[in-house]
Each structure stands twice: as structure tokens, then as C-alpha cells.
Amino acid sequence: MKKIVIVGGGTAGWMSALIMAREWSRQGVSICLVESPEVGIIGVGEGSTPALKLFFDRLNIAEQEWMPACNATYKCGIRFDGWSTHAGFESYFHPFSAALDRQTLPMFMHNAQARLRGANVYAQPDRFFIASRLAQQCLAPVAPEHFPFDVHYGYHFDSTLLGQFLRKKALALGVVHELGHVVAVKQHEHGDIASVQLAGDKHIAADFFVDCTGFSSLLLQKTLAVPFISYANNLLNDAAVALPSAIDEKIPSQTLATAMSCGWAWKIPLTNRYGNGYVYSSAFCSADQAEYELRAHLGLLDADVPVRHLRMKIGRVEQHLAGNCLAVGLSQGFIEPLEATALFLVQQTVAVFAEYFTRGEFTHRLRDEFNQRINNHFDGVRDYIVTHYKTSSRRDTEYWRANTANQQDVSPVMLALYRSWFEGKDLAAEINRLQIGSYYPAPSWYSIFTGMGIVPKGEQLRTATAEEACIDINAVDEFLRRCALNFSDHRAQLARWQSSE
């Protein structure tokens, strides 16, 4: 392979360019990224998983450099408000993991399993994880050197600034940037892509093409006609409205996901503003209604703020690699942004592609194996997202009734997992058996089931036996309180990066 052309200059395009340049530019592979001056980037997507840290670490890009440039903040996890109506379960925290969890996770799982058997013990994630404690206190999850346990964390960032930052880095690694709108795609007789034609009649040929054209999926879906598999039958949200609001004095180190009448609202803290959005189903709510509800929720009914309305296509392609074309980003699929997994899937796709590519030319078997692996990732993430809706006890609107009533098309893997939970079996063992721990690990599954209140409650509870009641939750509180003393205030930590710019 001598030349790669990436079409699309959104986050997916520039991330792909950087990973590919790091892998192959020293071997003489030239990389060109073509970006349309007419079609903008999607410009939303402000939250990440801990995988983004790995991306920057591998490129040797320090937080001090990229975070201030992108108005970025730290993210310990996600707080879910209003998803459950069960008394005492109205809010829960889904934490990112930490080395310290080795101390507290077994206690959480012990209590969760005991609660499943009807024992009256505390079993929500909130009081068992350092990430949750740090988020509660608006602390930065960066462990100081004298604290010997790392905390894994994600980030919040301005997606437009992140794109610009990645572009600068990619150009420094020798990626060529071409501004031009692709008007036609030329194929060889055997079907592979030969070149893209830009407005003004310039043609760019290459051995390999990366489709990062967003939802339009110009190369993979439109040219190579790879089918799209919709997830719409069990993920109903297909639209979003986004607007900013003023940031608070204390900067939270968590994303807030609040259930709304026809979807949910995100609140993402950046250093200079909150990014807010309402992800909803257009079958149940008009764009105007959604904007009104979001504004009312934020206390911004009459505020003069820039508002963006977006549509989303939820699902994935059947094959991410077809012929000499790899689709990355929205062009390969999108699962609604509830757990902010899109950039993780971008990284995963390009990293796994690089791994396969270095094993030699793609045979049919390797190609199928690659596509299956990426499909499994998409479906694995989808199943976790779907579980938020299946476990919600909200029934107050048509939207929630439709969401929770629809038990069709829940994957066999999910059915097995739900059955295991309801039968009070060892869920961690079932996750291992189903081989789904690499998409979402056991603590995430325990967190969602217990957090949503899918456990015995009220009169279903009995007094715990001595063995079941062996965890002293006040001692866990005290342990985490003392651990948290080692961490800095979030705003102060971010200011430190800004002053070292």
C-alpha cells in the first residue's frame, strides 16, 4: 500500500489520519485527507470514554497541551437522573474504573448479589467507587504521584476545537490536507475504488480509501452499496437539539444524563460553558417541542443562545471494510450518544484495522473476521445502551411506554443476561460465559441493574443474614472520603494546565 485517501475532515477523519500516520508514514505510505469546504462537520459529540486517553498517550500528546486547546475537562463517569421512578433509585452513577476498585468492587458485587436474594443491604454503585466520590465532590480524577492507584477517566471537550487540534497534529506528521468537495467516485472494473473526483475536475487516486464522510457515507454505503442495519426497532431516538449554557463556579467532573419526556438530556461541562442537548424520538416529539422542553429544563426559555437541531441515523453497516474502503465514524454507524461511545468505536475500528493489516494482505477470511469483530463491538455497545430503556420504570409518556413495552429484537445475549440477573445467578460469570466483558465489563452491568432499581425493594426485602450484612457501608464511605483527600479540585487542576500552556 502506497497511498491512503481519507475523505472527511470531522473528528473521525482526523483521528484516523493520526493513527494511520503513526502506524505507516515511516514505511513510506502517503496519507491525504480530503475535506469538503461545502459540507460542515457535525460539530457535536463532547464526551468520551477512557479510551481517548489511550489515543493521546500513544501519540505522546500531553493533557497540558491538548486539554486547554479544546476547553476540555475530566470525566469520572455519567450520572443518570430520573431514569427510574422507584423510590430511592431516582439517580445513580455509572463510574469509570480505577485500580482502587479492587478494594471496593468485591463489596459492591457481594451486596448486589445479596440484595438480589432479597437481603436488605445497600447495593447502588454510588457509594462503592472512587470515581463516584470524586464526581460528587467536583474533583479531578488525576491521581497525584504519591497516591499509588490510578483512576481511569474520560474527557469532555469542544468537538470543533478537538478537530482543529487533531488536524494540526496530523499535518505535523506529514498528512496532506486537500480542500475539495467529492462529486464522483470512480471504480475499477472489479469494483474497488480507483479515485475520487473533486469539484473543479481534480482526481485523486489511491490504493486505499477511508470513508469519513459522516452520515452521508459517500464511499461505503453510496458507492459500494454496503447495506445499513438499523437499530431503530429498539433504539427509538433519532433527533437531537443542542444549546450552550453558562458554566458553574464548581466545574463538575461528570456528564449528567437526565431522562426527559421523549428521550434524555445531556449536560457536559467544558472550561468555558456547558454543552447541553436533548436526544429524542421524532415519532413522539417535534423539534419545537424538544427545544422548548430543553430550554425549560435549563431555565433558558427566553435566552438568546445558538441552537442546533440534528437528525441521527441509528445503526451500523453490514461490513465496515469492503473492497479497498474502510468506513470510520458516522459513515460506519452510530449508536445514540447516551454513553458517549462514538469516538471509542472510531479508535477501535482503526486500531483493529491496523492490527489486521500488519498481519499481511487481507484475505477473505481476515476481512470477514475483521468485520465480525467490529460488528460485535457495535452490537455489544448497543445492547448496553438498550438496557437503559429496558430497565427504566418510567411509564409517564407514550415514548416511555413504547420504549419499555417493546421487548422485540432484544438480542439473545441480552435475554440470557437479563434472565441470569432475575434468577439471582452470578452475573459476572454469565458475562464471562457470553464473552461481552470487553464491550461493557461486569461493574457496568451491576451498576445499571442496581442503579435502576432492578432489585427487590420495600416489602420484598428481608433482614440480611450476618454473612450478607458483612460489608460496613459507613467504613466504605470513610475509606473513599480519605482517598478523595488526595485529589485536586477540578477547576484548580484545569487552571494548572492552562497556566502551563
- Which residues are marked as active site? 75
Q: Considering only residues 232-261, where is the footprint of ligand FAD by CB under 6 A?
A: 240
Strand order in the sheet with 30-35: 176-179, 30-35, 3-7, 208-211, 325-327, 321-322
Number of residues that bind ligand FAD (CB under 6 A): 38
Sole binder of ligand FAD in the list 5, 8, 125, 379 (CB under 6 A) = 8
The least distance separating ligand FAD from the CB of residue 262, rounded to whole angstroms, comes to 14
End-to-end CA distance of the chain: 38
Sequence-ordered list of residues with C-beta below 8 angstroms from that of 168, at least 6 positions apart, any chain: none
Q: Which of residues 340-369 bind ligand FAD (CB under 6 A)?
A: 340, 342-343
What number of other Cβ atoms are within 10 A of residue 413's Cβ? 18
> What is the per-residue binding string for ligand FAD in 13-32, x denoting contact by CB under 6 A?
x-------------------
Q: What SS3 state is found at 197?
A: strand
Do residues 171 and 33 touch, judged by C-beta distance below 8 A? no
**Window 195-234: contact mask with ligand FAD (x via CB under 6 A):** -----------------xxx-x-x----------------
Binding ligand FAD by CB under 6 A: which of 181, 222, 297, 496? 181
Decide: helix, strand or coil at residue 164.
helix
Separation in Å, CA 178 to CA 92, 171, 401: 46, 11, 49
**Which of 4, 10, 111, 224 touches ligand FAD (CB under 6 A)?**
10
Q: What is the closest distance, in whole angstroms, from the C-beta atom of residue 311 to ligand FAD in the complex?
A: 8
Pairwise CA distance, residues 238 & 253, whole Å: 27
Distance of CA 94 to the CA centre of its chain: 13
If 0-12 CB within 10 Å is exposed, 13-18 middle and 19+ buried, where does residue 297 land? middle
Q: Which helix (H) or strand (E) holds 230?
A: strand 228-230
- Closer of 216 and 411 to ligand FAD (Cβ): 216
Q: Least separation, in Å, of the C-beta of 266 and ligand FAD?
A: 7
Task: Flag whether 43 is marked binding.
Answer: no
CB of 384 to ligand FAD, least distance (A): 15
- Which of 326, 330, 431, 483 is the binder for ligand FAD (CB under 6 A)? 330
Shortest distance (Å) from residue 481 CB to ligand FAD = 30
H-run or E-run covering 280: strand 274-280
**Per-residue x/- marks for ligand FAD, 155-174, CB under 6 A?**
----x---------------
| CA gap 177, 166 in Å, rounded | 12
Where is the binding site, in residues? 9-12, 75, 182, 330, 339
Where is the binding site for FAD, in residues? 9-12, 182, 330
Chain positions contacting ligand FAD, by CB under 6 A: 7-13, 34-36, 39, 41-42, 44-48, 159, 181-182, 212-214, 216, 218, 240, 277, 279, 310, 312, 329-331, 337, 340, 342-343
